[in-house]
């Protein structure tokens, strides 16, 4: 089963499908007239977690996917009544990161923060300063084992528009300086919404790959990550080892296949 967000009638809604070939259906118990997006499964609590703007401010909600259940704000200090927060991503053990705004001189920018757990609550932790700055940083995707974090940014050094960047977790639990995933992945347009399907398979959306883009030699983000390979369109060529679907969003979802040990890195 896969949860996803899609643009329908001008608003983002949540949908699900039980396989890559089943037609998706809206999750009526989650959707409102406002936007719902960034769905994720919390392995620790069993809830489906997503971001909603139903209160006028983006906040994290949760719902148990059973008949008759309703979505509720995720308890804890992560949500704020006067600041947009959301885009929660979990490791396989339930460790979480999310997005909150930070102040840089006279302007605030979204950035990635930790979201520590405490007796079922989701709390606001500390900013990941190696990743954040006076620019757009959002859409975090932490790998299942918690060793890598892919996110979206318009920081200097990208290929244009919004690009995907990767940071590795060091032995001291700090995060390395982010590296762009290069022209094998990033286009001159926008790449957004990364999600790890496995430790070395990344699903993301792009409105530039396969369309108008600059042709150049592809490069690997870092040796052995498997995330610098040329992406393949999800529609019509989904790897048999993955179960992923494409929504009706104008930005076509694409999948990065696992690295073939016999193939060149990029």
Residue 46 lies in a domain: no
Residue 228 lies in a domain: yes
Task: Answer yes or no: is 27 within a domain.
Answer: no
Q: What are the two backbone dihedrals, phi and then psi, of residue 58, each rounded to the nearest 5 degrees?
A: -60, 130
Number of domains in the chain: 1
Asked if residue 87 is part of any domain, the answer here is yes
Query: What digits encode the pLDDT tens for the residues 87-135?
Result: 999 999 999 999 999 989 889 999 999 999 999 999 999 999 999 999 9
Residue 167 belongs to domain spanning: 74-256
Rounded to whole angstroms, the Cα distance separating 138 from 37 reads: 13
For residue 67, is it within any domain? no
Q: What is the CA 210 to chain-centroid distance, rounded?
A: 21
* Nearest-angstrom CA–CA distance, 66 and 228: 38
Q: Is 45 inside a domain boundary?
A: no
Structure-block tokens of residue 258: 């696992």
- DSSP class of residue 23? P
Q: Alpha-carbon distance 95 to 167, whole Å? A: 16
In a domain, 180, yes or no: yes
The pTM (predicted TM-score) of the whole model is 0.78
Strand-by-strand arrangement of the 232-233 sheet: 191-198, 201-206, 252-256, 232-233
Cα separation, 127 vs 129, whole angstroms: 6
CB contact at 8 A, 144 and 150: no
Residue 143 lies in a domain: yes
pLDDT tens for each residue of 28-79: 888 999 999 999 999 999 999 999 999 999 999 999 988 889 999 999 999 9
């Amino acid at each position: 089963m896969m949860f996803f967000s899609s643009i329908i009638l001008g608003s983002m809604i949540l949908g699900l499908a039980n396989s890559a070939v089943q037609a998706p259906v809206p999750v009526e118990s989650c959707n409102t007239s406002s936007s719902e997006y960034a769905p994720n499964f919390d392995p620790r609590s069993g809830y489906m977690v997503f971001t909603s703007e139903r209160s006028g401010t983006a906040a994290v909600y949760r719902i148990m996917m059973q008949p008759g259940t309703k979505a509720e704000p995720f308890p804890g200090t992560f949500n704020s009544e006067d600041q947009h927060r959301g885009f929660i991503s979990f490791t396989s053990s339930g460790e979480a990161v999310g997005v909150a705004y930070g102040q840089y001189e006279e302007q605030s920018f979204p950035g990635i923060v930790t979201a520590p757990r405490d007796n079922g609550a989701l709390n606001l932790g500390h900013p990941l300063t190696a990743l954040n700055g006076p620019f757009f940083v959002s859409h975090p995707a932490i790998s299942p084992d918690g060793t890598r974090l892919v996110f979206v940014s318009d920081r200097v050094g990208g290929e244009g528009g919004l690009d995907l960047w990767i940071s590795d977790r060091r032995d001291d639990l700090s995060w390395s300086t982010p590296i762009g995933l290069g022209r094998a992945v990033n286009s001159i347009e926008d790449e957004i919404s990364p999600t790890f399907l496995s430790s070395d398979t990344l699903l993301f959306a792009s409105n530039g790959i396969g369309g108008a883009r600059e042709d150049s030699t592809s490069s690997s983000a870092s040796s052995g990550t498997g995330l610098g390979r040329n992406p393949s369109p999800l529609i019509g060529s989904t790897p048999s080892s993955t179960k992923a679907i494409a929504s009706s969003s104008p930005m076509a979802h694409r999948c990065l296949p696992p690295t073939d040990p016999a193939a060149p890195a990029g």
